[in-house]
Amino acid sequence: MTTSEDEAICIRHWDYSETSQTVGLFSQKCGLVRAIAKGSRRERGGFSGGVDLLTRAEITLTMKPGTELGTLVEWSLVESFPNIRRGVRANNIAYFAADLVGRLFETHDPHPNMYGGFSHLLRHISAGGEQEDASNELLLLDFQWMTLKEAGLQPILGERTNGVEVVHFDPRDGGRVIEKPNASTWRVRSLTIATLDVLRNQTGEERPDLDPESIVRANRLLAAYIRDTLGEEPFTMRRLFGVLT
């Protein structure tokens, strides 16, 4: 049996008994893990009052060799991101982000950069609430792009012809932009692809200001691409984006 100290965000939880929970965690050092938190629902337990969704904590975890389910020994709450529970849009973004992390990564496969990006997203949208809509949309776009990149699913895109208003995006060919349409391509505005090109090639202060409408369209394109990759549409995606066409 191995014991490790880490920090993690709770992305799922299930009642195991009247006093215990089974939890899905995205941790900094171990990636996705599932664990049983015995006694976590007791009022005087050692779990900061229970393990709640979309909260971050310092944890102690034990794992037996050859098993997928660990034991959460300690959960010391660090951040609860309260505004996520007050703002509808922030709530929808947060639950969609947690769903992506849970679906696109394998268990016990560490992605520390992804963990940092997830923490940053939750912290930002919690601090801004409903007043930071434009900023939240850009942060969501960054998060979707980072998730695809870390999962090895980043769209290829490719070269675009100058002066063309509409291009053809092929989700079945790794998200490649091609000149001529086929049975699997989607018509996409060149400005939307240009926005994704900025994410691919530039970061931080190097970026030019991006058009808010193009950010929204790029978010919807990446979500549709993820839906096509998964082969299904998560409920959290429909709740956040509505009908994706």
Minimum mean pLDDT range among 79-88, 127-136, 171-180, 183-192: 127-136
User: Can you tell me whether residue 230 is helix, strand or coil?
Assistant: helix
pTM (predicted TM-score): 0.92
Cα–Cα distance, 67 to 196 (Å, whole number):
40
pLDDT over 90 (residue 25) = yes
Instruction: Identify residue 101 by its one-letter amino acid code.
Output: V
pLDDT band at 132 (very low <50, low <70, confident <90, very high): low
Q: 86 and 138 share a domain?
A: yes
Q: 66 and 121 share a domain?
A: no
User: Total domain count for the chain?
Assistant: 2
Cα–Cα distance, 156 to 36 (Å, whole number):
40
CATH number of the domain encompassing residue 34: 2.40.50.140
Host H or E run for residue 95: helix 88-104
Mean pLDDT value across residues 181-206:
87
What's the pLDDT tens digit per position in 2-19? 888 999 999 998 877 777
CB 9 within 8 A of CB 122: yes
Mean pLDDT value across residues 24-40:
91
Q: 154 and 208 share a domain?
A: yes
What is the per-residue pLDDT for 19?
76
